[in-house]
Amino acid sequence: MRKVWWILFLSSALAQGAELASWVRESPGYAALRAQRAEAALALEAARAGLLPTLAPQVDYAKTSLSESLSLGLGGSLAVLPWSDAQDALAAAARALKQADLELKAEGNALFLEALGRYLEAWLAELDLALAEKRVALNEAQLAAAKAQEAQGQATFKDVLEAESALAEAKASLFAAQNARALASARLERILGRAVAPKALPLPQDPPSLEEALAALENRPDVALARLRLEEAEAALAQASRDQALPQGSFSLSLAQGGLDLSLSLDLGAGALGYALGYTALGAAEGTSLRAGASLPLFAPVQEANQKVLENRVAQAKLALEAALKDGELDLRQKHQARLLAEAQLAAAETSLKAAEASLETAKKRLQAGTGTRLEVLQAEVGLLQAQRTLEQAKANLLQAHYALMDAMGIDLLGGER
């Protein structure tokens, strides 16, 4: 059931702001993140190539006062034992790619959240500009009314000056709103790498419960990275224990007949098989030779000290994982609470908007009935714009709280395939 919910929630949530996510995926910042991940993928391919056999031409020439020899051939090596250096390199590269994937998701989410903040900033700047323009119109009407009242003896020159001062302040606010919109648009273009006309984003639906949010703890990149570092520390400790327990030795077999030479060698420490086939043109010798050698460290203080260091790293990695789990749970609770608070603030803003709409409707009816003025309607329109601006701010807060919770749950906000 939880798996079904997870698929449904992920599909529904990623549909919100999908266009913005697409822009972020095509942005220069995300391209740089993908390049880092691609480097780790290439390193893994190189490590896989290390398991393939190698082949290289070989030439050996020697001359002394008594003899001269020349041999030509081909030789190479192949990792055959499970503890070979090539296998260790492959495991390390695979862990590095996992880490790159987790970092790409984490940094990609951070980039999306930053882009979302800039997008909402640009959208709210548009609303601020509209509100500033309406306030200028209101103050112009108030100044005209003050001058008319002064001509009729119903207002003083001081009232006119105050109206002019209010109009000047409104025009200054309009100039500031114009600059703020231009700056917000430039910031959004900087992060997306394109010019975008912001508009209202749809609100997310069906938020997860606290239990569902906490169930996603293991999906968080910081928790997964902590587990990966523990895995890396345990692998290093296992490798050191293996190197200390296994004997260091080699076996070699050489066959020579009619100028043809075949040699095989096995390095127990490196886990690699060496092979060579050659032809001796000068000074050919015939026969078979078998050599074997091994050594087992009985007293190795450096290895023992290194073993303790690696054991300590494993203990530290376990503590780091425990801390990541606790911090992640606390972060999920905080992000879930922040989303609930944003929902409550949105409900309050919607109520205020209804009140502003009712005030405007009343002002219009009063104007039609001849008991109100055009100035009252303008004041109600400004109040409605302010309520709409407050509502859009509440929606922006909810969007940011929602996507911050999704990020805390380890969901890929960009929906990229790894």
Instruction: Return the ∠ at Cα 103 (arms to 120 and 307), rounded to 5°.
Output: 150
pLDDT in tens, 320-355: 999 999 999 999 999 999 999 999 999 999 999 999
The number of angstroms, rounded, from the C-alpha of 415 to the middle of its chain's C-alpha atoms is 11
**Which residues, in sequence order, are CB contacts of 328 under 8 Å at separation 6+?**
217, 220, 222, 223, 408
Torsion of CA 158, 161, 166, 168, to 10 degrees: -170
Residue 282 has phi, psi (to 5 degrees) of: -125, 140
> What is the domain count for the chain?
1
Residue 312 exposure: Cα atoms within 13 Å on the Cβ side: 6
Residue 326 lies in a domain: yes
What is the residue range of 256's domain? Answer: 2-289+306-408
**The length of the chain, given as a count of residues:** 418
**How far is the C-alpha of 418 from the C-alpha of 401, rounded, in Å?**
26
What is the model's pLDDT at position 6? 43
What is the model's pLDDT at position 249? 74
User: Residue 104 above 80 pLDDT?
Assistant: yes
What is the model's pLDDT at position 283? 60
**Which residues, in sequence order, are CB contacts of 192 under 8 Å at separation 6+?**
23, 24, 27, 115, 118
User: Residue 13 above 60 pLDDT?
Assistant: no
pLDDT in tens, 60-99: 877 777 777 778 888 888 888 887 888 888 999 999 999 9
What is the model's pLDDT at position 69? 77
8 confidence band (pLDDT: 50, 70, 90): very low
CA-based torsion, 335, 336, 341, 346: positive or negative:
positive
**How far is the C-alpha of 241 from the C-alpha of 233, rounded, in Å?**
12
Residue 62 has phi, psi (to 5 degrees) of: -140, 145
**How far is the C-alpha of 13 from the C-alpha of 22, rounded, in Å?**
14
For 20, 87, 105, 235, the CA distances from 231, given in Å and listed in that order, are: 36, 16, 20, 6
pLDDT average, residue stretch 57-62: 82
Residue 294 lies in a domain: no
Residue 11 lies in a domain: yes
Q: Is 166 exposed, middle or buried (0-12, 13-18, 19+ CB in 10 A)?
A: middle
Residue 168 lies in a domain: yes
Residue 199: how many CB atoms within 10 A of its CB? 10
410 touches 219 (CB < 8 A): yes
What is the model's pLDDT at position 5? 42
**How far is the C-alpha of 43 from the C-alpha of 59, rounded, in Å?**
32
Residue 415 lies in a domain: no
User: Residue 15 above 50 pLDDT?
Assistant: no
pLDDT in tens, 233-259: 999 998 888 777 777 777 888 887 777
Written as one letter, the residue type at 68 is E
Average pLDDT, the chain: 87
What is the model's pLDDT at position 296? 64
By C-alpha distance, which of 396, 317, 385 is closest to 133?
A: 385
Q: Is 287 exposed, middle or buried (0-12, 13-18, 19+ CB in 10 A)?
A: exposed
Q: Which residues pair with 77 in a beta bridge?
A: 274
Residue 130 lies in a domain: yes
Residue with tokens 């034992």: 81
User: Residue 12 above 90 pLDDT?
Assistant: no
Residue 403 lies in a domain: yes
For 194, 360, 367, the CA distances from 387, given in Å and listed in that order, are: 31, 12, 22
Q: Which residues pair with 57 in a beta bridge?
A: 74
**How far is the C-alpha of 278 from the C-alpha of 286, rounded, in Å?**
13
CATH classification at residue 140 = 1.20.1600.10
By C-alpha distance, which of 346, 344, 336 is closest to 406?
A: 336
pLDDT in tens, 256-300: 777 788 888 888 777 888 888 888 766 656 667 777 666 666 666
Residue 127 lies in a domain: yes
By C-alpha distance, which of 398, 320, 303, 389 is closest to 353?
A: 389
Q: Name the strand (E) or helix (H) holding 263.
A: strand 260-267
pLDDT average, residue stretch 126-137: 94
